Amino acid sequence: MNVSKWALITGATSGIGWATADALAAYGYNLLITGRRSSRLDALEGHLHAKYQHKIAIKKASFDISDRYQTSEFLKAHYAELDHLAVLVNNAGLAKGTEKMQEGSLEDWDAMIDTNIIGLLAMTRGVLPHMIKKKSGHIVNIGSVAGRWIYQGGGVYCATKFAVRALSEGLRMDLMGTNIRVTNIEPGMVNTEFSLVRLGDQKKADSVYANMNPLKPEDIAETIAWCVARPQHVNIQELVIYPTDQAHVGMVHREI
């Protein structure tokens, strides 16, 4: 077991986070997996131990990344693992609602801003001193095509993902000379719990991906693993990934 090769994944309880844990385990990373649903973290741990025959170490922590106190307590509790952290995947994120801004919910806006921006910042700020101390590390942020192109009813969500893109660029500049890499992955339509969380209705969520072939979480996870596996002198700054059936935000081919 390589104790010096740890990866921390936020939002690992489903979708891209779950798939990324699987992909990085295949590369031999020990994993620190986090999310709000402890039962799902237990399930992921069991899946990984069975698949990789206990060849990697797994630690898990259930907390709400949008809560700064809970995030701070997590960082304190796992200080030892963070000293060996090679990769941070800032995957935790969500969208809530599709209302126009003049009709939007302040609570929904808070949830998106606190998770997609503040949570990402708090986690990144917490791990960076460990990476800087050993002059190595890789921060992978999960952005979105919504961080480049805006659509009606998604203004605030898009703003949070625009922020992720700006933060990724700014972080890369601030870390110049530290040997730490920063990557922003910007997926289009991925069939996860994203639409269910956003719309709050399974039937409506299913209709988002009806009659088209969206990306799978594994597609994004494989891309993350590929970026992380590049030689140290190679930094994949950002990648926009659409499914073939999606030409642009709001432009989707559906079989009739």
pLDDT tens string 86-109: 999 999 999 999 999 999 999 999
| Mean pLDDT to the nearest integer, 204-214 | 96
- CATH classification at residue 167: 3.40.50.720
| Mean pLDDT to the nearest integer, 28-41 | 96
Q: What range does the domain containing 69 cover? A: 6-243
Which of 27, 29, 151, 157 is catalytic? The answer is: 157
What is the number of domains present in the chain?
1
Give the per-residue pLDDT at 54. 79
Q: Are 40 and 97 in contact (CB under 8 A)?
A: no
Task: Decide if 26 is inside a domain.
Answer: yes
Task: Decide if 253 is inside a domain.
Answer: no
Name the residue among 59, 57, 56, 61 with its Cα closest to residue 35: 61
Is residue 21 over pLDDT 60?
Answer: yes
Give the per-residue pLDDT at 1. 42
pLDDT tens string 156-174: 999 999 999 999 999 999 9
Task: Decide if 173 is inside a domain.
Answer: yes
Task: Decide if 252 is inside a domain.
Answer: no
251 Cβ partners below 8 Å, 6+ apart?
none
Mean pLDDT of the chain: 96
Task: Decide if 150 is inside a domain.
Answer: yes
pLDDT tens string 54-80: 799 999 999 999 999 999 999 999 998
What proportion of the chain, given as a percentage, has pLDDT over 90?
96
Task: Decide if 254 is inside a domain.
Answer: no
Burial class of 113 by CB neighbour count within 10 A (0 to 12, 13 to 18, 19+): middle
pTM: 0.96
- Distance (Å) of CA 125 to CA 68, 213, 238: 12, 37, 20
Whether 157 sits among the annotated catalytic residues: the reply is yes
Task: Decide if 53 is inside a domain.
Answer: yes
Query: What is the C-alpha to C-alpha distance for residues 110 and 104, in angstroms, rounded to an integer?
Result: 11
199 Cβ partners below 8 Å, 6+ apart?
98, 205, 208
Give the per-residue pLDDT at 3. 53
Query: Amino acid letter at 25?
Result: A
Task: Decide if 208 is inside a domain.
Answer: yes
Give the per-residue pLDDT at 256. 83
144 Cβ partners below 8 Å, 6+ apart?
161, 164, 186, 187
Give the per-residue pLDDT at 4. 66
